[in-house]
Structure 1
Amino acid sequence: MITRTTPRVALFAAASLLVTGCGGGAAAGEGTAPAAAPAAPALASPRPSVEAAAQHLPGLGPRTLARIPSDTRQAVVVTGHADDSPVSTVVVYERTDAGWHAGPRWPAHNALRGWTDLHHAGDLHSPIGVFTLTDAGGKLPDPGTRLSYDRSAGFASPGTGFEGEPLTGSFDYVIAIDYNREPGASPLDWTRPLGAGRGGGIWLHVDHGGPTHGCVGISRDHMKDLLLALDPDRHPVVVMGDTKSLAR
């Protein structure tokens, strides 16, 4: 477990989640996410094998399964209720020699306008795809996660959300989704390897009770549970998208 010094403190504007977290728009020095075409989304993970695709996960079709790396033994599956819905469900799966086993189901929120195969900064959609999970952080102390963890005052979340709900505490715990970012860096790192127009700062974070800019929000207790469950040695990924997209 590694505790880092935050490389740069993000600036946040009241009434919205900006810059680094929750699909914030491009800032000076930011890059953009890869062109995540439906057949080949940008993944920060090894090329999957046919053997991995053969393993059944409920709700996932052959194309989605084929994107899960063969060495992955933990999968956080975020299933949106519809392609234009901000409501989703999260299930954490553990893979054994006998196959995948589901944990509890958790309610969640995703982006205001639902899901997209081709995410752009500020489009208010969550990106569809399979992405590795390598780094965490938050305003609160490390609860004991095996992921690298950056505690920083930069995880500020002032203002209100799309439905007038307070955002305070949303970034008490976060897990960076490796969409257009450098794995191994703090979630607050602004590096966007493929340029600025394709967004970034896509996180799992504490649910504020309404839609997000691009992130996935689950309750504080469930965020803590997830941080304690994820194990880098099991090569965890998040599989995220609406029901129809994931079933492809």
Structure 2
Amino acid sequence: MRLCATAAVGALSLALITGCSDGGGKDSGDGTGGKDGKPAAKALSAAELKQRIIAKGEVPGYEVGSVQGGIPSKDKVTAGDSRCEPVLRALTGVAPGEPAAHTSRMATEKKKDPTDDATSLDDLADGKFEDAIGKSMDLDVTVVTLASYDGGGAAAALKSVSDAVKACAGGFSGVQDGEKGEFTKVTEEKSSGTGEESVAFTATNDSGKEGAMPLHAEVVRHGSTLATYTTINIGAMMSKKAYTVPAPVVKAQAAKLK
């Protein structure tokens, strides 16, 4: 589980799944533009995306900063079944499709370390230390990636993720920077309902002795921009507690894309 904790602190990666193992939303158009005399959608620049992505102090209860370890290169994240690559890349913070520009941030839930309340070593004896560590890792870590596209690129990229969720429901294998991993199932979930259209899903590896290890993600289209959210909670995994992409992060990011 030590590798899992390390991976959660850094970028969300396929290496995490390797180390741990021994919904379609509303649609208000295709976003292509160029119809009825309206101009085609134009991508935002990298500078404009950096102004629109969540920043420090903008998400109540969360610390926002750079993605520790960075986002992997797209060509370093590949799936055994190419149809599943949009899902795998979303899980690692890589923007789907062919964006003109993209940028990422990481939002980490603020939590008090339960070991701070210990008054002596006896307080952490008899398994209490392990329990305290588990509780200290019970926090949501979310990577947010904004990507902007020309023309109908955003709608097409979102569709590629939605199609991959359906095609890869039975699971798939993948590689990131040489690290191999496997998801045993992909399940579509109810999305946040923000933006023009969205898809949310969970990719799970439940083949190991530690049981189900889920990663949660959502991709939302705001005009010509896609917001990709990927969340992991190691403590929740350890205690088999349900978790999902945190609403405060999605709400704060959606507000900056209006």
TM-score higher than 0.5 here?
Answer: no
Task: Compare CA radii of gyration and give the structure with the larger one.
Answer: 2
Q: Tell me: higher relative CO, structure 1 or 2? Use CA pairs within 8 A at least 6 residues apart.
A: 1
- The TM-score normalised by the length of structure 1 is 0.30
